[in-house]
Structure formats: structure tokens, C-alpha cells
A = this chain, B = another copy of it.
């Protein structure tokens, strides 16, 4: 049989894309959780201080400082020494998107019958890997599930 080597490019690119996407999700994951936590603190207490994030994430003050510096470099937060941490417009947009997605994933898990605590824990990690398409599917399932009983 003469040279039957065709369509290799796609076969190679598909599996690799999967992991490239996972790596890129991880790169933005911490940023998403931080801006969400900062927005929550501001909503609840008026301002967000570093110590709030120390408690929220169970890391040291030094780690929070490093992370906030990166977020500032990336244009998501604004802060000056000894001052509260503020979100930029872009930071607020990211926080809002992240919280919406997080809430959908968490309520979907509870809709599936998972306990409150497990839903809280699992959704915190899962949220960052859920695409728009999957998010839509979760919302659809909840809509249909609610309207048509359990049978």
C-alpha cells in the first residue's frame, strides 16, 4: 500500500490542546479566587485588608503580599503600603464573572444531591475548569429538573 500517512496534525493537536487548556486554567485560577474574595470582603465590611485574605486562604501574610503584587502587576488590583486593597475595573469584572460561575457550579452540585460542605469544597476547584458550554448545560439541567419533579 502506498504512503497512507494523512491527517496526523489534528490527531496530535487534539489531546495536547486538552492539557494546554488545563495549564492555562491554573494560571488564572488564583487570580480569580483572590478578586472574588476581595470583592466579598469589600461588600461585607467596606474594605479589604491583607489579613482578610490571610484568613480566607489560610496562607501567611508574606504570601498574600506576593500574590497581591502579581495581581497589581496584572492590572486587577490597586494598593499602596498599609492601605486597603482595591479592585480595578478589570478586577471587578473578573470578580463578578467568577462569582457567577462559582455560584452556578455550587448550586448545581447541591441540585445533584451533594451535601452543602462537599458542594462548597468541590466547586472551589471545579469552577475554574468549567467552560461556558458546560455552564449552560448545568443551568439547563437545573431548570428542567426543577420543573419536572424527581420521576
Contact = CB atoms under 8 A, between A and B. Distances in A.
A122 B131 contact: yes
Contact of A129 (B18, B122, B150, B151): B122
Nearest to A148: B151
A6 interface: no
Contacts of A16: 55-58
A89 interface: no
Contacts of A26: 26
Given A130-B126, A148-B151, A17 B112 contact: no
A56 B109 contact: no
B131 A121 contact: yes
Contacts of A12: 55
Contact of A18 (B21, B120, B137, B150): B120
A125 to B, nearest CB: 3
Interface string A119-149: 0111011101111011001101100100010
A15 B144 CA distance: 31
Contacts of A58: 16-17, 19-20
**Which A-B residue pairs are the 4 nearest by beta carbons?**
A125-B129, A16-B58, A112-B137, A22-B125
